[in-house]
Copies of this chain bind each other. A is one copy, B any other.
């Protein structure tokens, strides 16, 4: 836990309290702060006698060798990048727990058949480069390397003045901080026996039920879109409502409708980014672009919400500006598609058994009930590793179910419990 806060010195974000660790994090992928924490991670792993490699997406793999050199290592992975107004646990906990596991194994002199690795995946958040889990996606050969390298940073969180310089691409950002490795980014070049990931739940179920560990069996589906609405710039003071093709008014109606439709189907729909042009008090915006994030337990549900919204948004656009025969138009671009995932039975079993073992000495009557199976609302690098190798995840409770927020918090106890579970899960898996 002290390592966790130590690593948070690079990229400290919004301060919300007086204590030394009472700040959030703003460590955008491939920023200078990300470089610093990466340098620290590599040095730490080398000090722990791990072999470290970096691939073309800047993913960092650190392996503690096992008895046999001919089998791939079992990995613990997550990410060190954060949201622009993120906290100290999302992703960071997963990598730091990995370090903790290696330390403990060294201290105990524990030998394993295969090696045990820790991986830091690049740009998991998708906050700076707008595909989440993009680098585990390339590793799984689900996303083409060139597509990932060409991704442009999102202007609203760009680290550089946007007006002055062209937006950074992932490749140029990797080069800039010296993390464009030369190992191909692929499960073929860096094979794994399995992938385990520990993460804060980011939702309210564990914390509100006073449960200690979530055994993650699945991840919900999601799709990310970028939409443009094209209307007509005009004067706010002299243009009657019937004479407007107000792209921002169309947006407002669309956002209201999106929640309505998603809710009716047990799904979520959210807008995180919106930009209205030209951006002047007395000009009706003729152009709006915005992000749309649709999620649901099953891939088909997300597709249904999308389908209904495509129809509804067209209708909203068509009505705004109809009076002047110049209706708004709406254009959709799919940025990212992550179908629903079910994790591997073997890995889920290892996590379940380890969790039960770790909570067994808690001072409650029914320790079994401290552990539950759970579906992840958020995407994680484990989504992509699961396409190629057995994978599962461990959730621990977090305050208020809050994340992507500076005050995101899990107790040191819960973090330690999670680290013990993942250590056991890895050892169990190695012995299978």
Residues of A within 8 A of B (CB): 83-85, 125-127, 130, 132, 154, 156-158, 160-164, 201-204, 220, 222, 224, 232-241, 243, 246, 248-249, 251-253, 255-256, 259, 262-263, 268, 270-274, 276-286, 291, 293, 295, 324, 335, 376-379, 400-406
Residue of B nearest to A90 (CB): B235
Known A249-B255, A283-B404: A236·B278 in contact at CB below 8 Å: no
* Residues in chain B near residue A253, CB distance under 8 A: 252, 256
- Report the copy number of this chain in the oligomer: 2
Which of A156, A259, A273, A280 gathers the greatest number of chain B CB atoms within 10 Å?
Answer: A280
Question: A83 vs B278: C-alpha distance in the bound complex, in angstroms?
Answer: 9
Which residues of chain B come closer than 8 Å to A376, judged between CB atoms?
A: 238
- A255–B268 alpha-carbon span in the complex (Å): 22
A338: nearest chain-B partner, CB-CB:
B237
A293 and B263 CA atoms in complex are apart in Å by: 32
Residues of chain B within 8 A of A282, CB atoms compared: 83, 125-127, 132, 224, 270, 272, 293, 378, 404
- Closest chain B residue to A232, Cβ basis: B405
Cα distance, A376 to B222, chains bound together (Å) = 50
User: A397: shortest Cβ distance to chain B, in Å?
Assistant: 13
Cα of A357 to Cα of B398 in the assembled complex, Å:
79
CA separation between A83 and B203, bound complex, in Å? 45
Given A237-B222, A238-B377, A405-B234, do A85 and B270 touch, yes or no (CB 8 Å)?
no
Chain B residue with Cβ nearest A85? B278
A285 with B272: CB separation less than 8 A: yes
**A-B residue pairs in contact (CB < 8 Å), sample of 25:** A83-B278, A83-B280, A84-B279, A85-B233, A85-B278, A85-B283, A127-B281, A127-B282, A132-B281, A156-B279, A224-B282, A234-B402, A234-B405, A235-B404, A238-B376, A238-B401, A240-B268, A241-B262, A248-B272, A249-B256, A272-B281, A272-B284, A272-B285, A274-B274, A280-B404
Query: Is A279 a contact partner of B268 (Cβ separation < 8 A)?
Result: no
Residues of chain B within 8 A of A130, CB atoms compared: 281
Closest chain B CB from A84 CB (angstroms)? 4
A sample of 12 more A-B contacts (CB under 8 A), given A236-B293, A241-B263, is A85-B233, A130-B281, A154-B281, A160-B163, A161-B162, A224-B282, A233-B406, A237-B295, A239-B377, A241-B262, A252-B255, A282-B293
Give the docked Cα–Cα distance between A84 and B248 (Å). 17
A238 touches B156 (CB 8 A): no
Which of A237, A248, A403, A406 has the most chain B CB atoms inside 10 A of its CB?
A237
Task: Known contacts A256-B253, A281-B272; decide if A237 and B379 are in contact (CB<8 Å).
Answer: yes
Could you say which of A156, A282, A295 has the most chain B C-beta atoms within 10 Å of its C-beta?
A282
Find the B residue at minimum CB distance from A165. Answer: B161
- Closest approach, in angstroms, between the C-beta of A216 and any C-beta of chain B? 12
Enumerate chain B residues within 8 angstroms of A85, measured Cβ to Cβ: 233, 277-278, 283, 286
Knowing A85-B283, A252-B256, A272-B283 touch, does A233 contact B132 (C-beta < 8 A)? Answer: no
| Interface pair B281/A273, CB less than 8 Å apart | yes
CB neighbours (8 Å) of A402 from chain B are 232, 234
Find chain B residues with CB under 8 A from A246 CB. Answer: 270
Task: Give, as a whole number of angstroms, the nearest-CB distance from A400 to chain B.
Answer: 8
